[in-house]
Structure 1
Amino acid sequence: MITDLWLVGIGTGNPGHVTLEGMQALRDAAVVLLPLKGAAKVEISALRHTILDAAGTTAGIRAFDYPERDPALPYAARVQAWHDEIARRWVAALQGAPEGPVALLVWGDPALYDSTLRIAERLTPRPKLRVIPGITAIQALTAAHAIPLGSVNGAIKITTGRRLRAEGWPEGEETVVVLLDAECSFAGLDPEGLHIWWGANLGSPAQVLCSGPLSEVAQEIVALRQGARAEQGWIMDSYLLRRAPKGGTD
């Protein structure tokens, strides 16, 4: 039974993206849950171990295999069943574990396009949750390109590749940040007036960046993404799109 669950944001896997509070939590935890995501994600698991080593934790490590989503189910049902199975695997991995807080390392920030909080709601009884934010992919992206997130007095829309493909450019928006896009959905947009800042594996030695007018760099980004994924066996990328306002940039 999990009584205290600590979700520690670890940025993009760079130990420097974990806050001092997060490092202290890893030292104070009794157990760390460690997901295993297959042979292609061995490096991701190694990054988690690097962070644990940097924190100097003495917590027990309980690993569990990450389940695959069932492609035969509709999207919403597929995600629900996937989350249910992950929760079951958390509980199974912690059988006989030492009592005390359980820590789980979460890429980016536990509250930003991450399902860990929703999965935790499935536990019975519900544990006491503690969320420790880390550097988000959005922060890492804008810092890598040395750009502000928004324009002067401009709104910002955060969305997913799935929605961008289905709905196109959000009407009335000037700045759009896109996460979770394995299909390079930007390539399907009308590029007129759009500038893109893209980054993959941000904050790591394998970081790749590209920016420019969408009409000029879209295919270059597609090729860079394919190459980085082939070389690393995995990829985590995000991008910011901005439409130049009528009358020029601010």
Structure 2
Amino acid sequence: MAGEMARELVLIGVGAGDPDWITLEAVRAVQQIDVLFVVLKQDNLDDLVEARREIIRRHRTRPLRIVELNDPPRPWRTAPDYSAAVARWREQRLAQWSAAVADELGEGRSGGFLVWGDPSLYESTLTIARELVGSAQAAGTPIALRVIPGVSSVLALAARHQIPLNRQGRAVQITPARLLREGLPPGIDDAVVMLDGRQTFASIDPTGIDIYWGAYLGTPDEILIGGPLSQVAQQILDARAAALERKGWVFDSYLLRRR
């Protein structure tokens, strides 16, 4: 409305695990927002909560209002219709977030979400935030959206293994693991694989393929294993199983590279 100061929603990329892996722009945003929206997932664990708190401790000097949002359950892991289950979950998220933003973001106020990695890579927060902003605009209560990039697990993985993400003259594909059940597609020599809860790498033909795997990147629990897939696949399986037993959760990704 005329005369009102704009409201703002900021998605702040905070990197893959190390509290220092955030940009100066992200630091300024953490210092300037009026309210922080924190999404507590169904299986949220102390390590992840503490990492978020550490980012605020390091980069915020004034008190900050924190609004916790309990994430709707994620039924698609067992749902017969994956696409429908995801759509329903996003609808529930959108309704919850819209209500929280309407309650907490008054005239001239700024609210933020801390987004692991980068908000634009395999992250649903940006999609839902865009829908929220669009609905607010249609209702005559506009909100400005700002997205601050972060260090993604993809870039952190390559840096930790000290390898280039791409090779000269070749493309890199970033893909969920479910699209690699038959191995690297023809014509794809380098693929970064995300969301592999079933360890797909261990079931494909390893001939001529190297793997660069990393878990808990940027944290004291970081694990890195690389080499010919035929030689290190079992080592990765064992390390992942031990880490899951010890911590109860695993964040991992890997690069498959055809020799």
Question: SS of the counterpart of 1:50?
Answer: helix
Partner of 2:128: 119
Partner of 1:91: 98
Q: 1:192 to 1:178 in 2, by over 3 A?
A: same
Question: SS of the counterpart of 1:122?
Answer: helix
**Structure 1 residue 119: deviation in Å?**
0.9
The answer as to 2:33 corresponding to 1:20 is no
Amino acid at match of 1:121: R
One of 70, 82, 85 as aligned partner of 2:89:
82
Give me the TM-score of the superposition, normalised by structure 1.
Answer: 0.91
One of 129, 136, 148 as aligned partner of 1:132:
148
Q: 1:233 to 1:105 in 2, by over 3 A?
A: same
> For the aligned residues, what is the CA RMSD?
1.7
Equivalent residue pairs, number: 242
Partner of 1:60: 65
Q: 1:101 to 1:210 in 2, by over 3 A?
A: same
One of 156, 172, 176 as aligned partner of 2:191:
176
Partner of 1:227: 242
One of 164, 167, 170 as aligned partner of 1:151:
167
In structure 2, distance between residues paired with 1:81 and 1:202: 31
**Structure 1 residue 184: deviation in Å?**
0.8
Amino acid at match of 1:55: H
Question: SS of the counterpart of 1:150?
Answer: coil
**Structure 1 residue 64: deviation in Å?**
1.0
Question: SS of the counterpart of 1:61?
Answer: strand
**Structure 1 residue 72: deviation in Å?**
2.7
**Structure 1 residue 175: deviation in Å?**
0.7
In structure 1, distance between residues paired with 2:80 and 2:72: 15
In structure 2, distance between residues paired with 1:202 and 1:141: 7
CA contact (8 A) 2:36 2:67 kept: yes
In structure 1, distance between residues paired with 2:184 and 2:163: 21
Amino acid at match of 1:136: S
CA contact (8 A) 1:141 1:239 kept: yes
Question: SS of the counterpart of 2:73?
Answer: coil
Give me the TM-score of the superposition, normalised by structure 2.
Answer: 0.88
**Structure 1 residue 222: deviation in Å?**
1.2
Q: 1:120 to 1:40 in 2, by over 3 A?
A: closer
Amino acid at match of 1:125: A
Question: SS of the counterpart of 2:221?
Answer: coil
CA contact (8 A) 1:35 1:45 kept: no
**Structure 1 residue 98: deviation in Å?**
5.2
Amino acid at match of 2:203: G
Q: Deviations over 1:205-244 (max 9, x none)?
A: 0101101100011111111111112212221110001101
Amino acid at match of 2:162: A
In structure 1, distance between residues paired with 2:244 and 2:254: 16
Partner of 1:107: 116
Amino acid at match of 1:128: A
In structure 2, distance between residues paired with 1:35 and 1:155: 35
* 4+ runs deviating over 4 angstroms: none
**Structure 1 residue 168: deviation in Å?**
3.0
One of 18, 34, 57 as aligned partner of 2:38:
34
Amino acid at match of 2:166: G
